[in-house]
Structure 1
Amino acid sequence: MKVTLTESGATIDAHDLGPLLGLNPADVPAKMRAGEITSQSEEGVAEDAGQIRLTFWYSDQRVRLICDTDGNVIKTTRIKAAR
């Protein structure tokens, strides 16, 4: 799985994100537009420099992806947690 990182932000393919959130990939874009899926992006500092953390919330799920600066996902976590 890879994340695309640009100056305007990060993107992940719905085919990768959907299953992580327990969704059909085809449903991801509409749920994002409706605000049912929310996200946050953070750049690492100090010992986490060179990493990007992407967090997605949907219903009672939180999925967190830790990526390197090339967008390679190096760690994925999924827990039950409301935003």
Structure 2
Amino acid sequence: MSPVTITAGDFTVDADLLAAAFGLDQAAVKAKMQAGEITSLCEAGMDTDAGRFRLSFRHQTRMLKLILAADGAVLSKSMEVTGRPKRPYMLGSPDWVPPVRAG
């Protein structure tokens, strides 16, 4: 069974896959996703990649990328280190950077 299920355009990823990738347990994965500490992005392939999807999951400084076939089969999996963890900064703190808005 694939760790990813696609139903009517919705993707369900087995928490074991994310837990293993980020060194967490299933409960921590679910809690961190609900808290917005693990974020996700889904992109549909175009042209020669039509029928494929890329799911990206970010937690602290790590990003897991899954390339999926149309049936949810995982074609490739990679982990990247992305630099500093994203975290909210308090206004006026030394690390605070004003948000950038598209214009």
Q: TM-score, normalised by structure 1?
A: 0.91
Instruction: Provide the aligned C-alpha RMSD in A.
Output: 1.4
**Shift of residue 24 of structure 1?**
1.6
For 1:12, the aligned partner's letter is V
Structure showing greater relative contact order (alpha-carbon pairs closer than 8 Å, 6 or more residues apart): 1
More strand by share: 1
Amino acid of the residue matched to residue 24 of structure 1?
D
Match of 2:78 in 1: 77
Percent identical residues: 40
Query: What residue in structure 1 maps to residue 56 of structure 2?
Result: 55
TM-score, length-normalised on structure 2?
A: 0.74
CA offsets per residue over residues 13-40 of structure 1, 9 Å max, x none? 1111111122122211110000000000
Number of equivalenced pairs: 83
- Of Structure 1 and Structure 2, which has the larger fraction of its residues in helix? 1
Kindly indicate whether residue 68 of structure 2 is the aligned counterpart of residue 67 of structure 1. Answer: yes
Task: List, as ranges, runs of 4+ consecutive aligned residues in structure 1 with deviation greater than 4 Å.
Answer: none
Stretches of structure 2 lacking an aligned partner (at least 5 in a row): 87-103
